[in-house]
Chains A and B, each alone.
Chain A
Amino acid sequence: MVNPIKSYRNTFVLLLITLLIVSFINISLGSVSIPIKQLFITLFDGEVAKESWRTIVLNYRLPKAITAIIVGSGLSISGLLMQTLFRNPLAGPFVLGISSGASLGVAILILGASLFGASISSYTFTNFGLAIAASIGSFLVLSAVMIAALKVRNTMSILIIGLMFGSLTAAVISVLAYFSSASELQQYMFWSFGSLGNLSWNEIIALISIFSIGIVLVIFIIKPLNSLLVGENYAKSMGVNVKLTRNITLISTSLLTGVITSFSGPIAFIGLAVPHLTKLLFNTSNHKILLPAVAISGAIIMLICDSIAQLPTSEYTLPINAITSLFGAPIIIWLLVRKRKIYY
């Protein structure tokens, strides 16, 4: 007997091929131009004409491409989870204040350090320290939003509460910034621009580890997430532990968003825009299809944004946040103007 639920195998093959091509284009671009052939040789461990090319590719471009893939897919999955959990197409890690929570964590670490203990030099803040601060911050803010969500139930109110938490954290950051030194402020500003580069292989391993934990948690809630599509009451009547599902969603979202935001800064719009684009492409609500689809699409779009931010043939790199917003905002507007109803 044939299961009539579509598997979308061809679309997935196409997406994976696109991902490979885009990754390769991303690695081939940069301020130093490296011949395509030498690039291949480097990637597949052969004899390279110039040793500096190998260093550039292996220690700079490859880590950056991997970071882009993880950031893109992690944020997109988080956005999808939030949209399903809140049954609201406007939900996403950014809107619900998770990113501002991470910002607050980092701000307290960088800007607040001199207020609470001046002995800590700002240069001792490793990416790991930032990662922990951002994770704690994002988890606390998301928890606060979730507790409020349990009380009000109305999804619009939840979004407004999320925005309010965003304003609150922004206010606290302003106060911290007012009392900080110029160098601390600059360090925080650079973090908030977002950046995919500058990660060492050790940091990438840490990023991948936490990302993997988040993804494993998500895989275990695919089944209950699908039943939540018909509402909490039906889900309960089918034996789903709604509270547990919500908590796992909360934990995996804050792990994914927290670790990504801490290593790469608050990346805008990807978490909101990619799930919608994917839903338009796949026209399904089935999480067994949507989760891998959103992960691959997110990675592809992040790689494209990063390739644009490279400003090919130039020495400058634009802040990645500018590119994702330039790309994300018109898409959301276009979707709304088309008046096509978005089913989430």
Chain B
Amino acid sequence: MKLISKHIIKVSNLSIGYTSKKEVKTIASDLNIELNAGNLVCLLGENGIGKSTLLRTLTKVQPSLKGAVFINSTKLATYNYANFAKIVSLVLTERLPDSSLTVYELVALGRQPYTNWIGYLTTEDLLIIESAFEKTNTKHLLNSKCYELSDGQLQKVLIARALAQNTPIIVLDEPTAHLDLHHTINTFSLLKNLATEFKKTIIVSTHEVNLALQLADELWLMTPSKFISGKTSELIKNNDLDLLFDSNLISYNKTLNQFTMKNP
């Protein structure tokens, strides 16, 4: 089934969760998303509310319970993994296993969906890898071993690997979880730049809510009551942000455009 749609991601009446032998555990339901290409999206929500489950469902790691997901106007289920690797690339929150891969080798792995059976890098591949290094400003790390990098450098290199995969959509699961403020802002401005300048669609799950308010074109809010997606400015106007956290603790301050702690 194919729908004519200008949306790069379209989700209707999606339910996400897990099925086991005995029961179906629904994490969230009635998710609706219409996303245009070239946007930076921040997925916000408390710990354990299902952000990772949503990302895993959208990236074909786990099946949905109900509803339909269209990526690039094609139903998610009709992609095979090899083709899907050319549409969506990932930056995961998990640690890389120990290895003596060099930074270049790691980034070059991003070309795997395109290379031949032995992984031969053509001139075109080398050029795309080169440009991934340039976009992320990591060329000086090229010959380092991955285990020598700081967390901030590694995060940039992992983004470079996703860029080498040359997909219209990049999904990042809490990319700034281990980073200090400098590297967090650095990473977010890089992502923003990739969206505006190179028309990448970037989906980031994050706890950096205040940064998300400043940078994200769209927000996906996973609140205990419902899922809300839309332009950042519209969500602010509709007072949707107040639903995100327990209102006794944290509230959204419109004048500051920030989440602030309620006075005790």
Residues of A within 8 A of B (CB): 1, 3-5, 87, 219-220, 222-223, 226-227, 229-231, 233-234, 236-241, 279, 283-286, 288, 341, 343-344
Please, which residue of chain A has its CB at the minimum distance from the CB of B112? A238
Tell me, rounded to whole Å, the shortest Cβ–Cβ distance linking B62 to chain A.
Answer: 11
Q: Is chain A's binding surface mostly helix, strand, loop or mixed?
A: loop
Cα A11 to Cα B119 with chains together (Å):
22
**A226 and B119 contacting across the interface, CB-CB below 8 Å:** yes
| In the complex, chain B residues whose CB is within 8 Å of the CB of A227 | 109, 112
Question: What are the 10 closest A-B residue pairs judged by CB atoms, nearest first?
Answer: A239-B85, A239-B82, A343-B100, A285-B99, A223-B119, A237-B90, A238-B112, A239-B113, A1-B126, A229-B99
Cα A286 to Cα B146 with chains together (Å):
13
Given contacts A222-B118, A233-B90, A239-B82, contact A285 B101 (CB under 8 A): yes
Q: Is chain B's binding surface mostly helix, strand, loop or mixed?
A: loop
Please, which residue of chain B has its CB at the minimum distance from the CB of A229? B99
- A-B pair count, CB < 8 Å, reads 94
Tell me, rounded to whole Å, the shortest Cβ–Cβ distance linking B53 to chain A.
Answer: 14
Please, which residue of chain A has its CB at the minimum distance from the CB of B101? A285
Cα A240 to Cα B112 with chains together (Å):
8
Tell me, rounded to whole Å, the shortest Cβ–Cβ distance linking A313 to chain B.
Answer: 43
7 contacts between A and B (CB under 8 A): A227-B112, A229-B99, A230-B97, A239-B83, A239-B84, A285-B99, A344-B98
Total B residues in contact with A, Cβ cutoff 8 Å: 41
| In the complex, chain B residues whose CB is within 8 Å of the CB of A284 | 100, 102
- Cβ-neighbour of B106 out of A87, A230, A237 (below 8 A): A230
**A231 and B165 contacting across the interface, CB-CB below 8 Å:** no
**A226 and B98 contacting across the interface, CB-CB below 8 Å:** no
**A229 and B97 contacting across the interface, CB-CB below 8 Å:** yes
Q: Which of B53-93 contact A (CB under 8 A)?
A: 59, 61, 81-86, 88-90, 92
| In the complex, chain B residues whose CB is within 8 Å of the CB of A4 | 104, 142-143
**A344 and B99 contacting across the interface, CB-CB below 8 Å:** yes
**A237 and B109 contacting across the interface, CB-CB below 8 Å:** no
- Whether a CB of chain A sits under 8 angstroms from the CB of B94 is yes
Cα A233 to Cα B94 with chains together (Å):
9
Cα A239 to Cα B86 with chains together (Å):
8
